[in-house]
Amino acid sequence: MVDTVDHETAKGLRDRALLLFGFAGAFRRSELVALNTWNLKERDEGLKVTIEQSKTDQEAQGQVIAILSQPEPRRTARRRLCRTG
C-alpha cells in the first residue's frame, strides 16, 4: 500500500508518512489525523511523537511515543517537513 503512494507530491508525502507512522507507532486513525508538525521531534535515536489526546486518554494528559531506528518514517517525515516550511 505504501509503495502505491506518489512520493513526489506534498499530498503523497503526507499520505506516506501517515501510513508509515500508523504502522510504526501503532496509532489509531484519530491519533494520526490529529498530528501536527509540532507533535514531531527528531532525535538522534529516532522520532518523538506527542499524542495530545486519544481514546484511552480521556483526561487529555497526552502521551509520548518513540519511533526508534525506523529510517523510512524518519526520512518521509523529514521530506514532508522540508516541503511545508
* The 3-state secondary structure of 21-63, one letter per residue: HHHHHCCCHHHHHCCCHHHEEEECCEEEEEECCCCCCCCCCCE
> Phi then psi for 55, rounded to 5 degrees?
-55, -40
Distance CA 79, CA 73 (A): 10
Q: pLDDT of 32-81, one tens digit each? A: 888 888 988 988 888 888 888 777 777 778 888 888 765 666 666 677 66
**Which CATH number is 28's domain given?**
1.10.443.10
Nearest Cα residue to 70 out of 52, 51, 37, 43: 43
Domain coverage including residue 17? 2-84
pLDDT value of position 5: 78
Number of domains the chain is built from? 1
What is the pTM (predicted TM-score) of this model? 0.62
